[in-house]
Structure formats: C-alpha cells, structure tokens
Structure 1
C-alpha cells in the first residue's frame, strides 16, 4: 500500500472527517444523502457509510468531549472500521479528507495499520491480502513530508509485527540479527552483531546462561543511528529483550497453551529495532543506539538450572531461582553494556512479566525507573498521543530488598507479589544512568483482534518510542 498526498481527490471512495454537522452542506453529497447523514448524526452515529454502487462515502464524526488524545484514537479506530469495509468490498483506493490535518493523519494511520497481513507461510495467498493499493491523504495543509513520515512509521510497525509473528523455525537469534542488518542497510543504520565467541570473551554471563540449553548460538546486536549534527550530546540508548522463544527452560511453563505464542517473547527487541528504523527512515536528528541480546530459552542436558549462581557481564553474581525469569538476565548484560556509550537516557522494552499483563491487560504499558520525572512525563505524553499508554508504577527501595540472596549478590526472582516491580528492581542493579523500564507483556501480542492493533503481534512500543524520540527534537 502506498500513502500519497493530494490537494483534491477525484476518486470514488472518500472518507470525510466531520468536526461540525454544518460541514455536510459543503460536501459532494446528494440531498437524499445529506438528509440520511443528518439523521444518523442526530442519532449520535460516529461512522456513516454510504454505498453509491460505483463507490463509497464514509463520514467520520467521533465525539470531541474527552480531549484531543481520545478524539484522535477514535479516528484511528474508525479507520479500522473503514478498512474492514474496504477489505470486504475489495476497494483498491481510498481518499481521506477533512478540515483537521491531524484527524486526517489519524484516520489514515488506522486504515494503514489495519491493512497489515502476515501471509509468509500460506501456500495460497490469493484473496488474503489487503486490497488497498493507494491511500490518499487529501489536504492543502499537509506536506509531502507529513505523509512520508506516516508511511515510514507504518512501515516500521509492519516490520516489527513481521519479526514477532515469525515462528522460531524461521526466526532464531541469528536470523533476528540478520533482519536487523537488513533494515540497517536500507535505512543507513550502522549495525554490528556480536556472535557467541565474542559474547563469551566479554563474559556476558546472563545471556550465555540462558543460551546453554539451546542448539542455536546467541547474538548481541548493536544498532546505531548517528546523523550529522545530532541535537543530543549524549546518545539515547534503547534496549530490547530478544528471547526468540521461551519454554521457561527447566522451570518449564506449567499452564496449558502457555507456550503457544512464546515466539513473541522477543517483542521488546523487535520494538526497539522498529523504533530506530523509523527514526532513521525519517532522519530524526538524534543520536540513537539500540541493543538487542537474543537467544531462545529451552531445557536441555546442558541447560542452566534453578540454584545455579552465574556471574554477569557487570561482575555481579546472581542466584537463579527460576529459569523462566530469564529475560532480565539478558537485559542486565545489555544494560551494563550500555554504559560504554555514556548515555543521556536508556529505555528498555521487554515482555518481561506476566504480572504486567495481569495488572494492565492489553491496554497499557508498565513503566518504572530512575529517570527524572519530567522525562517520564514526556514519555507518558507521547504514550497518550499514540494511545500506547504508560502507567508509572512505584519503585520504592523496599522492593529491591526482596531480591537479596543468601549465597550471591542477588537472586533473579522475588516473591509472587509485585513481580513486575521486583523485575524492574533487579534491572536497576545494572544501570548507572537515567533509565526507564517498559514492560509491554500485555500489549505486545493479542489472542483476539483489537481494532487497528489487529490479532497477533501489535508492534507496541514502536509508535510510543518514535513519538517520544521526536518530542526530544521538538
């Protein structure tokens, strides 16, 4: 699908976003159509569909009583409803118009994200892909740069969803690293992949311990976007968990079907890769680095076991009480590695705990860390703007006390209570800079469709991080 800007749309399938009912008078509608639309608007309808036989008219009229963020999210959701019609009717093009530029962009974003399909493993793809080939954003106030920015962001979300949706049979740690190299080559991102021998020489004990049960070697991918004259003196470092499949290791996941979608346990790694991809495609003048440690976590005769003590890349020792608390071990090594860049800010993203999904479901991202309140507030503002909302959880010192070990510097698991927070407190032991931890476990992969987020991989984190990064420029 191509996104294009036009000053005037002459096609047969038009979306018009209404802010006032009086705008109906200026639209190219028949008197009968206008009366029908007026009646539907009086009935509080937020999407009015008119089938003209040779084309479609969609009138979008979301409520405006809950602020801009909710209004634009409703625009995205109406875009999803429109995409359902365009798919069913096999429409190949659609124009989107309205008096508000941001509303036009939001509806287009909803249509575009709803048109994603993951079809790589179907032998017969006929009729399964989205029929839309051209999406026209119609406004004299829009620039080509606005449309290109949206197209690149959608492309980055698509790529992230593809990475997460791929099964382990097609996406082990080495293939994930190769995928990052591919997007790096396209977008001008410098990519370095550390392979097992280098990881061993660096003594990344967390990553190596988790990898012990695997037949595939681990990787550690370093992506760097450094444009000329970046506005930040110190880089922003993004760190993502890259567990390409998680059985739980010898602490095998116990519940029925709990492993069915554990291919998605690298969604944090995919998200930071997608975010730096979007930043590079749109040439954000920021120095950004993304780190993704990757492996699968499986039981084997050589796998690490509960009770083991491992020495991390930082030199700290960790008593392993549960091999299914593995993501924090990878992240800890990567967070330590981030120190070499003297970062101004580090943000990690991970499907780290089931506790995050229990607390927030699929509707939010859990956040915590050591960054200044104003930085966290800026991230939360970005979250509301793209509706990947971040909830800040307490990060009191008492939670860290729960990780004390009798035989090592700390243990990798606290009690059942506050599991999401103690996971974050574990990571805090490996940072020495402003830092935010994002647990995206509930939102990264969905069992049932949720509007434009779809079913399966959602790409959560890409739009959030991109909007936040852009705000650091603005």
Structure 2
C-alpha cells in the first residue's frame, strides 16, 4: 500500500485537497470558495491551476461528517489522483479521529489492485495536514491494519483456482503467521482428517486433497482471555460436484472461499493490533470437483461430532464442511463465542441484493453488536429469522438430517448449521452476495471485496480481554 503520513504545513509542490466547506490560505482559498464544490459524500470537484502552485486543488464532499462520509471521500480522492501524484489533505482543526480512519481506509481500499494485474503499483503519497498528529495516530494504525487485512482477503479470493489449491491456501496462512509474533498455525491433512467426514466427502472428488487450518492469536499478558472462534468456509473452487452448476453460475466459484479469507485476515489483524482477546480461525479447505470419487446425492456423511447427514445436493457442500469445523470448535476449543462466515447460498442475493449479508443468531444482543460493527466498517447485513417449525424440513429417513431441503435456502442452511454450534453463543453470516463486486463502487474495487474482514476487526476491537 502507498504511504500515508502526517505533516503540519501545506507544500505548494503537491496537490492540495480540502473537504467541502473548508478554506485554504492565500488566493487559492478564494478560488475554492468560489468553486463551491459539492458536499455530498464521495463527490470530488477539481480546480486546475496551470502555471501556478499548487497546480491542482481537489474539493471533496464528506457528507454529514460521519466516518462513512470520510471513507467515501477517501475512495473518490484516490481515484481522482494520478498514480504518481503527491497530495496533501488539509483537515479541519476539530476533525475527529474517525475522519482520519475513514479517509485512510477509503484511500487504501479503493487503491487496491489484484497483485497479478498488469497495471503498476501507485508511487504517489498522501499526507494529512494536521496541527497535532498524536491525536490521530491510533486511527491511522487501525485503518492500516484494516486495509492490510482487506487487501489480503481480496488477494486470496481473487487468486485463480488453478493456483489456489487447499494446500496452497494453507501455505499462505503459514507464511503470513510466520511474520507476526503471538500466532500459531496447525494444518491437518490426510489421515489427520479421519473424523472430518464432511470435509473428506466434499474434497474426495479432487486431485487436490483437503486441508483443515487452525490459526490462533493469543494476547500476551492477558490472563484467561475471552476466546472468539471464527469459522470460514474454504471451498477453493466449486463445480457443484455431481449436482453440477451451469456455466454462468460456476465461472466465479474461485470466490467460494471468501469466508475463509475473511476470518484468516481478521485473525492476522488481531495480532497486528495486539487485541486483548484470544482469536482462533478455523478454515476447512476443499475443492468440490466432479470425478469418479466425488460424493453423491444420497450418500450419508458422518461428521466430526458423530452425527449424520444425508446429502441431497452436492452443490450445497459448504454446510457439509462447516459442520465439521463447528463441531470441532465446540468439542476441542470450547469458545466463548463462535462467528461463522460463508459464501453459502445464492438465496442470500435473492433476498437481500448484492451488498448485504444475511445474519442469523439466537442472541439478539450479539446480532445488534455485529450490525453496529458492520455499519461502522461499511459492510451491510440484515438479521433474518430461523422459524422453529422449518426444522421439520431437515428430517431424513436414514440420517440425523438432510443437507439441502426445499424451502428458503439461506434460512434452511442456517438451521442445518445450528445443530453444530454446541452450547456457545454464536452467529452465522451468509455473505455470498457481497463477497464480489461486478464493478468499482466506493471503497470496493471490481472483483473480490474481502467482505467480513472489516466487520470482524471492528467487532473484535470492541471486546476486552476478560471473560
């Protein structure tokens, strides 16, 4: 990511940027006042000053001044700047810390480019002009950790499935964890997955065998810290298996590990920010392929907890692998809280559109806290019900449940997963739709959005270390 720093003085050799309604010194101030740039968040008005200094001035709308408006301004500013342009943003004297965090997140997130793209990286820089940088250093550090996590989640999700095998993705986690103290990684494969019947079934049709990754952050010096387990679906490519997808539905299925990418990135960010909470990310990784060894509709799968599921649709594989991971968490880790993220159902997009995840939790206080974190982070979610009478749809004649009953798809998937959370407090986020953007929009760039990483970081940052 390009550097963002603080300075106390404007430099006429750089491009000047000012929020709408603010003033600048000298003759340029009068020109900006006369320009009357839009105050709508994300609008940028450009004042060209050939043969003068500064040569360009940008007036950026920040809306009502809340963090979301500053984030939108940052995203619009970075798109208005050339790759090699050096710029300064003069902030009001009374700007809150959220202004710096929002601006920096918008600048960095909208500047993202997938690492394999042919366009060169940005060489320009941005400075925030403030009188006392110490008041904003924490906000900038939070923005940097958040943007770093989102970039990683986007990189992992954008990586083509020809490269992104379960083993490759596990190796990326090991490599990232090695750069940060306080993190440990365990990777299970082969015979170590004996009890993971769902993961073995879904991954059994691929020449690239499955993996199960456990990434843990333990804060130093915190006695008996609160333990949050993050579970993320990690299907590195989803053909639909024997219940094969049509072409148009399959072409973007490299993104079917977006939940795993988000929980991995958020756990790494917990270490970067030294959060006083224990965080464990669990990612069941598999490729759902078509072959003679692929699992079949009608198969009965035995999960980690010994319960069984009758597979009725091999394209509903996500819940099958997540069941093992959730049961593992309940038995082996005994967490205080479990948050599950998955690109789980197309029904999510049908119900809520392209920008909103479906939220399920029996704990309304947790649901409200997650929604608040998502709002602050700029990621939308909506809580949906889990009607108890729908449980009857899950009944099987030959197993404890069926995997994919008829009915409301996203709700039925949540009810299926409910059996595996154990007695802990939990929430499930079906984030298939907002995990991908068809075009640039605000702080999002075309392709993987890294959805969920920012929300998780915000939420984890609200927790103290005590149980």
- Using the size of structure 2 for normalisation, the TM-score is 0.92
Q: Is the 8 A contact 1:231 1:473 kept in 2?
A: no
Q: Tell me which residue corresponds to 1:113.
A: 109
Helix, strand or coil for the counterpart of 1:292?
A: strand
Segments of 5+ residues of structure 2 without an aligned counterpart are none
Q: Tell me which residue corresponds to 2:240.
A: 248
What RMSD in Å do the two structures reach over aligned CA positions?
2.1
Q: Tell me which residue corresponds to 1:183.
A: 176
Counterparts of 1:385-464 in structure 2, within 5 Å, are 385-415=376-406, 417-432=407-422, 433-464=424-455
Q: Tell me which residue corresponds to 1:320.
A: 311
Residue by residue, what CA displacement relative to the aligned partner does 1:361-416 show, whole Å, maximum 9, x if unpaired?
2221111023x32222111111111121221100121222211111110000121x
Counterparts of 1:263-278 in structure 2, within 5 Å, are 263-278=254-269
Helix, strand or coil for the counterpart of 1:473?
A: coil
Instruction: Determine which of 324, 333, 339 is the counterpart of 2:324.
Output: 333
Note the C-alpha offset of 1:450. Answer: 1.9
Helix, strand or coil for the counterpart of 1:454?
A: coil
Note the C-alpha offset of 1:279. Answer: 1.1
Q: Is the 8 A contact 2:238 2:253 kept in 1?
A: yes
Helix, strand or coil for the counterpart of 1:375?
A: helix
The total of aligned residue pairs comes to 452
Counterparts of 1:144-155 in structure 2, within 5 Å, are 144-155=137-148
Helix, strand or coil for the counterpart of 2:285?
A: strand
Note the C-alpha offset of 1:42. Answer: 9.1
Helix, strand or coil for the counterpart of 1:186?
A: coil
Q: Is the 8 A contact 1:75 1:107 kept in 2?
A: yes
Taking the aligned partners of 1:335 and 1:104, their CA distance within structure 2 comes to 38
Instruction: Determine which of 191, 199, 218 is the counterpart of 1:197.
Output: 191
Q: Tell me which residue corresponds to 1:33.
A: 31
Counterparts of 1:212-251 in structure 2, within 5 Å, are 212-230=204-222, 233-251=225-243
Q: Is the 8 A contact 1:60 1:75 kept in 2?
A: no
Note the C-alpha offset of 1:75. Answer: 2.5
Distance change in 2, residues 1:75/1:130 (3 Å): farther
Helix, strand or coil for the counterpart of 1:452?
A: coil
Say yes or no: does 1:90 pair with 2:83: yes
Counterparts of 1:46-195 in structure 2, within 5 Å, are 46-53=43-50, 55-64=55-64, 71-86=66-81, 89-99=82-92, 100-101=95-96, 102-120=98-116, 125=118, 128-139=119-130, 140-141=132-133, 142-188=135-181, 189-195=183-189
Taking the aligned partners of 1:50 and 1:347, their CA distance within structure 2 comes to 47
Q: Is the 8 A contact 1:382 1:467 kept in 2?
A: yes
- Using the size of structure 1 for normalisation, the TM-score is 0.90
Q: Tell me which residue corresponds to 2:7.
A: 6
Distance change in 2, residues 1:285/1:45 (3 Å): closer
> Mean Cα displacement is larger for which, 400-409 or 92-101?
92-101
Taking the aligned partners of 2:152 and 2:238, their CA distance within structure 1 comes to 21
Q: Tell me which residue corresponds to 2:287.
A: 296
Segments of 5+ residues of structure 1 without an aligned counterpart are none
Note the C-alpha offset of 1:187. Answer: 2.0
Say yes or no: does 1:353 pair with 2:345: yes
Taking the aligned partners of 2:40 and 2:325, their CA distance within structure 1 comes to 55
Taking the aligned partners of 1:325 and 1:418, their CA distance within structure 2 comes to 13
Note the C-alpha offset of 1:107. Answer: 2.1
Q: Tell me which residue corresponds to 2:275.
A: 284
Taking the aligned partners of 1:393 and 1:7, their CA distance within structure 2 comes to 48
> Mean Cα displacement is larger for which, 390-399 or 142-151?
142-151
Note the C-alpha offset of 1:62. Answer: 3.1
Distance change in 2, residues 1:181/1:55 (3 Å): farther
